[in-house]
Structure 1
Amino acid sequence: MDHMIEKASQLRHTGQAKEARKLLLEALEQEPKDAELWYQTAWTHDSLGLEREAVPFYEKSLGMALSAESRRGAILGLSSTYRVLGEYGKAMEGLLMELAETTADISIQEYSRAIQYYADKLDQIEE
């Protein structure tokens, strides 16, 4: 499957994202448990301006075992997609959760629990 992903990536980078999308969708039919395929398919939808269609692919990939690098890319991609769709709270939630869970910065780690708690409450006003 790595060969298929590499080929789709090359297609996407050479302006042939439609062909990459077709290839990845066909590959997903054969390998529906491949997290990297789900992520690459999401990314390809995004590159075609199909943000709304990309969301379920990102979400599915993040629910599976992605490499650390692909996970960061999927979170960033999904958050960016949410931003484009006007879902700003969801966009920030993903980024804040990733920051809280993966930062090596001690000062941020001290606030990790608070960041995670408030990540999905950005629109709430405390009284």
Structure 2
Amino acid sequence: MTTDSRDDLLAEAVDLRTRGQAEQARERLVALAARHPDDAEVAYQTAWTHDALGLEAEAVAYYERALAGTDLSDEDRLGALVGLGSTFRILGRYEEAVGTLRGGLAEFPGDGALRTFLAMALFNTGEHDEAMRILLELLSTTSEDSRVRTYRRAISHYAKDLREIVGQGS
């Protein structure tokens, strides 16, 4: 199989998924991934398609294969980290989700999707304070809601410690 045919087959499968024909895309991507086991881009698109079909357990190995490779674009690497972290969370593998998403934030510290999914995974592990802090910080820095923007400083302040009580005597 030539590189061109690999590229054509990959583009065709992605197009099928985009047009709502995810099962047909999955079949083609699984076959392509079998022919190109070290191709991170093929693995990522295969994982994504499994996720789109609700086949999260099957997506994990493809996400891991994609992230082990070195030929993903930054955008696709970010997508694979979000996808794997989210997939671990939906499968109840919360600690793995937290680890994956924290690792993703080490690479992409400003990404709101990584922070959001990390907050959800932290909630699942019982780390409610950190989850709430992350979401409040994200809200205060990214919201375009005029009322939220009005209170941005207060939200940012309280994100650090929601248990703070001012004015209590000893």
What TM-score bracket applies, with the shorter chain setting the length? 0.7 to 0.9
TM-score with structure 1 setting the length? 0.76
Counterparts of 1:29-68 in structure 2, within 5 Å, are: 29-65=34-70, 66-68=72-74
Q: Structure 1: 5+ residue runs without aligned partners?
A: 105-121
Q: Hey, what's the Cα distance between the residues in 2 that align with 1:22 and 1:37? A: 13
Number of residue pairs matched?
Answer: 109
TM-score with structure 2 setting the length? 0.58
Q: Is structure 2 residue 14 aligned with structure 1 residue 9?
A: yes
Runs of 4+ in 1 over 4 A off after TM superposition: none
Name the amino acid aligned to 2:8.
H
Name the amino acid aligned to 1:93.
G
Superposed CA RMSD in Å reads 2.3
Name the amino acid aligned to 2:91.
L
Q: Is structure 2 residue 103 aligned with structure 1 residue 97?
A: yes
Higher relative contact order (CA 8 A, sep 6+): 1
Q: Structure 2: 5+ residue runs without aligned partners?
A: 1-5, 111-124, 127-170
Kindly provide the CA deviation profile for residues 65-93 of structure 1, in whole angstroms up to 9, marking residues without a partner as x: 12211110000000111111111221121
Q: Which residue does the alignment assign to 1:117?
A: none
Q: Hey, what's the Cα distance between the residues in 2 that align with 1:89 and 1:100? A: 17
Kindly provide the CA deviation profile for residues 37-77 of structure 1, in whole angstroms up to 9, marking residues without a partner as x: 01111111111111001101101111111221111000000
Q: Is structure 2 residue 25 aligned with structure 1 residue 20?
A: yes
How many Å apart are 1:22 and its aligned residue?
Answer: 0.8
How many Å apart are 1:23 and its aligned residue?
Answer: 0.7
Name the amino acid aligned to 1:94.
T
How many Å apart are 1:99 and its aligned residue?
Answer: 1.0
8 Å Cα contact 2:13-2:28 kept in structure 1: yes
How many Å apart are 1:3 and its aligned residue?
Answer: 2.0
